[in-house]
Amino acid sequence: ETGVTQTPRHLVMGMTNKKSLKCEQHLGHNAMYWYKQSAKKPLELMFVYNFKEQTENNSVPSRFSPECPNSSHLFLHLHTLQPEDSALYLCARSQVGGEKLFFGSGTQLSVL
Amino acid sequence: GQSLEQPSEVTAVEGAIVQINCTYQTSGFYGLSWYQQHDGGAPTFLSYNGLDGLEETGRFSSFHSRSESYGYLLLQELQMKDSASYFCAVGQAGTALIFGKGTTLSVSS
């Protein structure tokens, strides 16, 4: 148990849909992350939030839009996605400046 | 930019010892971490080497040499449950981790 809960676990969406992924943690860690994991590729860092402020945007297309309303919740809003966006999307938390990441179980996204 | 290299696959038998190497190219000082991921699961933290040297935790050990930009994960007394993907990752304090492509370890009986 990593203290990070992601919903939904699985999501199938069409290219014209709008959906949101949710990540929740209640351990008081102030850094939260979105990673993308595609088959045969390394985990790709997408966004970083420190103390609710976005500190990194790793050249992610604008069809992915993150939101961090408070230190316990992180969202990834999705719209007009492409089939190549199908992947496992992982949320993680850490102490700010910490080297140890705690990952959620991820959302397996399929874009049709 | 930063890049990490690790073998894509390793196979071994139960009870054996396996070493998974990781080399990296970065522009500054980085700590080296290792994560384990079983099929269908999330990556879980195994170890972190902020300084040079060897860290031991049970059957797993991790080594890091900053001067050589190199490290390894050593798994001893392999068990079937150790079959998983292992990722090395680098990061400075205050920055997010960058991950390698992962090494798939298959342990057979």
- A66-112: per-residue pLDDT in tens? 999 988 999 999 999 999 999 999 999 988 767 788 999 999 999 99
- A52 and A71 in contact (C-beta within 8 Å)? yes
Q: pLDDT per residue over B30-82, tens digit each? A: 789 999 999 988 899 999 898 899 999 899 999 999 989 999 999 999 999 99
Residue of B nearest to A104 (CA): B42
Distance, first Cα to last Cα, chain B: 41
Which A residues 40-79 touch B at CB under 8 Å? Answer: 40-43, 45, 48, 56
Q: Determine the average pLDDT of the residues in B9-29.
A: 92
Q: B45, B48, B64, B101: which to substitute to probe chain A, counting the most A Cβ within 10 Å?
A: B45
In Å, how far is B61's CA from the nearest CA of chain A? 17
Provide the residue count of chain A.
Answer: 112
Residues of A in contact with B48 (CB under 8 A): 99-100
Two tokens, residue A34: 């979105």
A with B: how many residue pairs have Cβ under 8 Å apart? 49
